[in-house]
Amino acid sequence: MFLCAYRRFYNKINISIVMSGRKLQITHLADEWKSSKGGLSTMNRELAIGLAKHPNVAVTFFVPKCTEEDKKAAGKHNVRIVEAKKRIQRTT
């Protein structure tokens, strides 16, 4: 059921991108690239990979932490990983 809904969603995006003729830039917020947590992490990664297959789409995967290995693995699928910078909160 999920795969069927995903394919319908992806096909709609694919049609929209082709019709617009411009490059779509997507920033995908996620917990991780690899799937150590299972289902949702896998879905996020596969969605990013699927979207990045389209020549008019640039996908950035924004995560709290990642390794160089994660960046290389994502790069093989034309997905760029950006690691969030830690911000220090001030107490007042």
Q: Where are the domains of the chain?
A: 2-83
Instruction: Give, in degrees to the nearest 5, the angle at Cα 76 between 45 and 30.
Output: 25
pLDDT digits (tens, 9 = 90+) for 5-49: 445 555 555 545 554 567 888 998 888 998 876 788 888 899 999
Give the Cα separation of 43 and 49 in Å (integer): 10
Q: Please state the pTM of the whole predicted model.
A: 0.69
**Percent of all residues in the chain with a pLDDT value above 70, rounded to a whole number:** 75
| Residues 6 or more apart whose Cβ sits within 8 Å of residue 9 | none
Give the Cα separation of 82 and 65 in Å (integer): 9
List the structure tokens of 31: 């917990």
